[in-house]
Amino acid sequence: MILRTDRMILRRAQAGDLPDLHAVFSDPRAMRYWTRPAHTTRAETQVTLDALMAADGQEGDEFVLEHAGHVIGKAGMWRVPEVGFILHPDHWGQGMMIEALTAVIAHLFSAHDMPALTAEADPRNAGSLNVLQRLGFAVTGNAARTMQWGEEWCDSTYLALPRATWDQSAR
């Protein structure tokens, strides 16, 4: 499965993606609000890459984002129906994730019978929350101390994008 946008190719992960994915997952800025601190070894990133390559499209449906011949992040449904994404900081603020997720969300609603997509973000992660809300996700709730990141407890903001809302937006 390949999706194309104006600036990117969104495709399934491949073994050769390890160096580029490690550049993303080892960057502390990119990983600040991830489920764990930045990767310190390629072996850690290999575990992530192996999981991406093993995904069957039913439990998860994710894509790596290729731009100018390099993987700069990933986006998709890491677990039905929850969307997740990460982008190398060198590409922040350029509309790349909006562009990628627009294609990914259209694919997910086309390929999977589900009433809505969900997402979770740290409430301090203004960039990710902005991306999600610009795509039509609405906040459905908040919770305190949902995840421990290193020694720090973090909160969560939960969001949802109903299929009907996406269909009405005629992207």
DSSP the chain: -EEE-SS-EEE---GGGHHHHHHHHT-HHHHTTSSSPPP-SHHHHHHHHHHHHH--SSS-EEEEEEETTEEEEEEEEEETTEEEEEE-GGGTTTTHHHHHHHHHHHHHHHHS--SEEEEEE-TT-HHHHHHHHHTT-EEEEEEEEEEEETTEEEEEEEEEEEHHHHHHH--
What is the reported pLDDT for 35? 81
On whether the CB atoms of residues 76 and 63 are closer than 8 A, the answer is yes
Q: In what order do the strands lie in the sheet with 152-162?
A: 2-4, 9-11, 61-67, 70-79, 82-87, 116-121, 152-162, 138-149
Read off the tokens for 125: 């992660």
What is the reported pLDDT for 7? 96
pLDDT by position in tens, the chain (length 171): 899 999 999 999 999 999 999 999 999 999 988 888 899 999 999 999 999 998 877 778 999 999 999 999 999 998 889 999 999 999 999 999 999 999 999 999 999 999 999 999 999 999 999 999 999 999 999 999 988 877 889 899 999 999 998 977 755
Read off the tokens for 50: 């192996």
**CA neighbor of 86 nearest in space, from 40, 151, 42, 35:** 35
